[in-house]
Structure 1
Amino acid sequence: MRRKLLSILPLLLISFSAFAGDFGKSGLSILPSPCLGYSTNHGTQYGANVTIIDFGDGSFYPNYKQKIYLEATKYTKGKTSLKAVYDSGMLIPDFRFSAIIAYQSNPLYRFYGFNGSATPYDPSLDLKNDIAYYNFGRRIFKAAANIQHKITDGLNWVAGVNFVKYGIETVSDRFTSDPYNTLYHIYKEAGIIRSNEAEGGQRLEFNTGIVFDTRNEYTAPSSGIWSELYLTGSPDVFNDSYRYLKLSAHFRHYLSLIDEERLIFAYHLAYQGTIAGEAPFYVQQSINELIYKKTVSEGLGSKNTIRGTLNNRFVGDSYAWANVELRIKLFSFNAFRQSFYVATNPFIDFGAIVKPFRLNAERGSELYKAATKLHESVGIGAKLVMSRNFVASAEIAKPLQKDDGKFGFIMGMNYMF
C-alpha cells in the first residue's frame, strides 16, 4: 500500500502542474486537471475538473474574491458525479454567497441498516459471490445556496435553502443473481422502511445559524477557529408526512506548534441530530454543509466522518464525531512558476450514534448499547499543496473494530476539515 501511495503522488504533481503556467496570485486563474482518485468503497475515480479563481488585485491571497469549481467523474464501481460549486465574498456586496448544483448516481449505494453495531455485519455478503446484500441503487439531485453576513469581526449570520431529490431502487441484476436478497428489501418488507419513503422523495430545507471564522486562510489554515451552529428545517411541502428540524454544530481549531507553520495541530468536533419531528430514512446519513466541498457529504462512517470505516455504517437519528490530526510540512519547492509543499497528516477519528433511529429497544439494553457504542479509526495521509489553494490528498485509515471495515484508502482533493 505504501508503494502504491508513493507512486500516485508524482501523477498528482503532473496533473496539477500541466496547466499551471498562467496561475498567479492576482487576476483570474484557470486550472483544468484530470480527476484521479480512489476510494475503497467506490473504486478508481476518473474524469476531469476545472477550478477558476479570481484573486482580484492580490490583496486577498491566499484567499480569493470568487471561486468556481466544475467536476465530472465516474468510478469503476459505477458511481457517477457531476457538480458545479460557486463561492464568493464579492458577488453580493458585504455578503458571502455559496452555491452548488450537483447530480450523483450510484447503482451500488451502501446500506448497512440502522444503528451501527445493533445491525450485524457479515462481510461475506458485501459484494462477494454474486451477492449485493448491502446495496441499493440511488440517484440524487441537489441544488443549494446560502449567504453569510458580518455581525462583528469573525462572526457572521447565515441563511440558506436546499432542494434535494432522491431516487431509490432495488439493486440491478447486473450486480447480483438475486436483487431481492438485500437488507433494503428486508427492511421494506418488515415495514422498517415505510412505503412513503422506500423509493426516495423530495426535500426542501431551510437553514439558519451563526458562523465564527478566524482562520488565516480558507484552504489549508494554520491558525484560527472555524465554528458553525445552525438549524436545518424541512416542512411537509411535498405531502409525504415528514417534517423535521435538525441541529448541526461544528468546532474546528487550528494551532501552529512550530514556527513557519511546519507543525499544525488541528481538530474537529461535530454533532448533528433531529431535535423535532421525524425525518425519512434517506436523509439520515446526509451531513448538512454551509461550505460545499463535496457533491454529497454523508455519515456516520467513511471519508467524511470516521475515515476507513464502511460508508454510512452508523446511521442514527443523532450522532457525534471528532477528528484529530497533526499536519506536518515535510519540505517545500518551486516548480512551473508555482510554490509547492508536501505534508503528511497522521490522524485519529472517532464517533458514535447519540440517538438511535427506529430502534425497538430500551435505553440500557444490550441492543441500545450496541447502537450507541464508540467507533474509532487511525490513519495517515499525504498532501501535495500548490500555491496554498489546491490540495491533492491521499489517505489510508484502519478501523479499530473488525465489524467497521478492514481499511480505507481515499484519494481526492482538500483536507478533510
Structure 2
Amino acid sequence: MGSISRLVVNFSSITLSTLFKNRMIYCLLLWGMYIQTPNLYGQISDAKEKPIEGLDFGILPSFVYNTDKGLQYGALANFYYYGKGTKYPNYLYKLYVQSAITTRKGYVNYLFFDTRHLLSKGMRFTVDLSLVNRGFQQFYGLNGYNSLYNKDYFDPRKAQFISRYYYYFHEISRTIDMDLLGKLPLPHLSWDIGFGYYDISTLPIRTFRGHRTNRPTLFEKYIAEGVIPQNQKDGGHTAFLNVGLTYDSRNDEAIPTKGLWIQGIFLKAPSFWANKFPYSQVGLIYNQYISLTHQLVFAYRLAYQTKTSGEIPIYMMSYLLSTFRMEEALGGNKTIRGVLNERLIGNGFGLGNFEFRYIPISTNALHRNLNIGFNLFEDMGLITDLYKVDKSLNGLTFDYNPGKEKIHYSVGGGVRFIIDHNFIVALEYGHVLDRLDGNEALYLDLDYLF
C-alpha cells in the first residue's frame, strides 16, 4: 500500500501545476464539489441496482466524437441476455453491433460477441470482427519524439506550410479476432488461446476535399527513403496465434472497484501461415483497482510489449496486445488520452494509466439502473524498442533526430453516464504536457478505458 501512496503523491506533483494552467481546472473544481458535498446526493447515491432478467437491449443512434478521427454517426445495437438474473450485472451473452460513417471520408463496422455459456462450463468465447475505412489515418513518423511533429506543416497561414494532409494516409482494415479462455485449477487463473487475421490496405492520399494534390505526405517520404519497405507500403495480411495466462480477481468487469487483472500474452505470426513477415511478440498488462471509499476508486494500468523475433510490419505495430480486445496504440482515446492518435510507433513500448474514479450518483428510473461518474487521469507512454532507421537519414527529408525519445505525458478528466451497469457512455478531455504531442483532445465514446 505504501508504493501506491507514493504513486498517488507522484501523480499529484507531476500534474498539479499543469492542471492549473489550462481548462482542466474546471474538472478539478467539479471533482472537489462532489468530494466535499457527498450528502447532496445522499438519497440516490446508495440506490441498489435492480437485477435484470432475460433480454436487455438498446438500439440507438450512434454519435461518437474523437478529435483525431472526427465525428462518427450511424447506429448501434447492444444486446445482453441475463437469463434469470441471478448473475447480474454479469451477463450470459453479449452482442454488440455498430455501423457508422465518419466526417473524414470513412466508415466503421463492428461486431463483438462474448459469452461464458456457449461452450463447456467455465469457458469464455469472444469474437471481434471489424471493417474500417479510415480516409484520413494519422501518421506522425516512427519512434515517438525522434520524429518531429510540427503543426506549422499543415497550417496554411504559416511559412513552413506543406499541406493540410501532410500527416495523413488512407487505410482500410479488415480484422478477425477469436479468443477462447478457460479456467485453471488455481483460483482466478485462466488460460487463453486465440486466433487473429488482419488484412490492412494502405495508400497515400491523392485528393483532399475534392482537390487532387501531388505534394508528398510524411507517409510517402518514409516510403521514398526506404524506411517503410516497398513490400509493406501497400499494407498486407497477417495471421497469428496468441496464447496467454490471465489472473482476474476483479469484483466486476464493467465497473471494477477492487482486485487485479493481469494478462501475459505471447503472439506468433508464423511463416507457414503465408505471412510475408513472420514475427513474435510478448506482452504483459497489469491492472489494479483499489477502493478508497464507497464511491471512490483508484485504478491503474501498466503495460509492456516488445518484439521477440522476426520483423513486425509497419501496419501491425500500432496495436496493444490483449486476451480480450486489441486496441490501437500508442496515443489517442484508448491508450494516452490527449496525445495524437498513434503518435508512438515502434517495435516495443511501455504504457501507464493512472485514474481516480468517483460515482456519486446512483438511482433507479424508467425501469433502468442509472449512474453518473467522474474521473481524473494521467496517462504516459514510451517507445522502448526503436524501429531501425538508417542514421544517414537523420534530420533529412522528414525531420528525424535520434535520441529524442522520452516519456510522453497527458492529463485530463471525464464523466460517465451508466445505464444498467454495462452500457457506459464516456465523455473525456485530455491535454498533453508537451506540444510535440499535439495540444488537447475531446472524446465521446463507450466504457471505461480499462
How far apart, CA to CA, are the structure 1 residues paired with 2:340 and 2:235? 22
How far apart, CA to CA, are the structure 1 residues paired with 2:411 and 2:242? 33
Q: What residue number does 1:111 align with?
A: 139
Q: Displacement of 1:165 after TM fit?
A: 0.2
Q: Displacement of 1:120 after TM fit?
A: 1.1
Q: What residue number does 1:335 align with?
A: 365
Which amino acid in structure 2 is aligned with residue 162 of structure 1? G
TM-score, with structure 1 as normaliser: 0.89
Q: What residue number does 1:202 align with?
A: 237
How far apart, CA to CA, are the structure 1 residues paired with 2:125 and 2:329? 26
Q: Displacement of 1:177 after TM fit?
A: 4.8
Q: What residue number does 1:100 align with?
A: 128
Which amino acid in structure 1 is aligned with residue 177 of structure 2? A
C-alpha RMSD over aligned residues: 2.1
Structure 2 residue 353 is matched with structure 1 residue 320: no
Q: Displacement of 1:376 after TM fit?
A: 0.3
C-alpha spacing 1:179/1:153, structure 2 compared with 1 (3 Å): farther
Structure 2 residue 292 is matched with structure 1 residue 286: no
Structure 2 residue 223 is matched with structure 1 residue 188: yes
How far apart, CA to CA, are the structure 2 residues paired with 1:203 and 1:267? 31
Structure 2 residue 410 is matched with structure 1 residue 377: yes
Q: What residue number does 2:382 align with?
A: 352
Structure 2 residue 437 is matched with structure 1 residue 404: yes
Q: Displacement of 1:169 after TM fit?
A: 0.9
How far apart, CA to CA, are the structure 2 residues paired with 1:415 and 1:190? 40
Structure 2 residue 207 is matched with structure 1 residue 173: yes
How far apart, CA to CA, are the structure 2 residues paired with 1:350 and 1:91? 38
Which amino acid in structure 2 is aligned with residue 289 of structure 1? S
Structure 2 residue 91 is matched with structure 1 residue 64: yes
Q: What residue number does 1:271 align with?
A: 304
How far apart, CA to CA, are the structure 2 residues paired with 1:177 and 1:310? 26
C-alpha spacing 1:156/1:309, structure 2 compared with 1 (3 Å): same
How far apart, CA to CA, are the structure 2 residues paired with 1:256 and 1:387? 21
Q: Displacement of 1:179 after TM fit?
A: 4.3
Q: Trace 1:248-259 onto structure 2 (pairs within 5 A).
A: 248-259=283-294
How far apart, CA to CA, are the structure 2 residues paired with 1:179 and 1:227? 48
Which amino acid in structure 2 is aligned with residue 132 of structure 1? Y
How far apart, CA to CA, are the structure 2 residues paired with 1:361 and 1:337? 64
Which amino acid in structure 1 is aligned with residue 86 of structure 2? S
Q: Higher Cα Rg: structure 1 or 2?
A: 2
What SS does structure 2 have at the residue aligned with 1:345? strand
Q: Displacement of 1:132 after TM fit?
A: 0.9
Q: What residue number does 1:300 align with?
A: 330
What SS does structure 2 have at the residue aligned with 1:44? strand
Structure 2 residue 158 is matched with structure 1 residue 158: no
How far apart, CA to CA, are the structure 2 residues paired with 1:177 and 1:163? 34
What SS does structure 2 have at the residue aligned with 1:357? coil
Q: Displacement of 1:79 after TM fit?
A: 2.8
Preserved contact between residue 223 and residue 254 of structure 1 (Cα < 8 Å): yes
Q: Displacement of 1:334 after TM fit?
A: 2.1
Deviations 1:245-281 (A, max 9, x none): 111110111111112xx00110000012111111111
What SS does structure 2 have at the residue aligned with 1:359? coil
How far apart, CA to CA, are the structure 2 residues paired with 1:190 and 1:342? 51
Q: Displacement of 1:289 after TM fit?
A: 2.8
Q: Displacement of 1:217 after TM fit?
A: 1.3
What SS does structure 2 have at the residue aligned with 1:186? helix
Q: Displacement of 1:239 after TM fit?
A: 5.1
How far apart, CA to CA, are the structure 1 residues paired with 2:249 and 2:444? 28
The equivalent position to 2:149 in structure 1, one of 102, 116, 121, is 121
Preserved contact between residue 242 and residue 268 of structure 2 (Cα < 8 Å): yes
Query: Which runs of at least 4 in structure 1 moved beyond 4 Å after TM superposition?
Result: 127-130, 237-240
Structure 2 residue 251 is matched with structure 1 residue 216: yes
What SS does structure 2 have at the residue aligned with 1:60? coil
Q: Displacement of 1:224 after TM fit?
A: 1.1
Structure 2 residue 443 is matched with structure 1 residue 415: no
Which amino acid in structure 1 is aligned with residue 138 of structure 2? R
How far apart, CA to CA, are the structure 1 residues paired with 2:51 and 2:206? 47
Preserved contact between residue 196 and residue 240 of structure 1 (Cα < 8 Å): no
TM-score, with structure 2 as normaliser: 0.83
Q: Displacement of 1:298 after TM fit?
A: 1.1
How far apart, CA to CA, are the structure 1 residues paired with 2:132 and 2:317? 17
Gaps of 5+ in 1: 6-22
Q: Displacement of 1:240 after TM fit?
A: 5.9
Which amino acid in structure 2 is aligned with residue 192 of structure 1? V
Q: What residue number does 2:43 align with?
A: none
C-alpha spacing 1:243/1:127, structure 2 compared with 1 (3 Å): farther
How far apart, CA to CA, are the structure 2 residues paired with 1:383 and 1:189? 45
Which amino acid in structure 1 is aligned with residue 306 of structure 2? G
Preserved contact between residue 132 and residue 179 of structure 1 (Cα < 8 Å): no
Gaps of 5+ in 2: 1-22, 28-49, 393-399
Q: What residue number does 2:7 align with?
A: none
How far apart, CA to CA, are the structure 1 residues paired with 2:72 and 2:334? 17
Q: Displacement of 1:80 after TM fit?
A: 1.1
How far apart, CA to CA, are the structure 1 residues paired with 2:221 and 2:391? 19
What SS does structure 2 have at the residue aligned with 1:289? coil
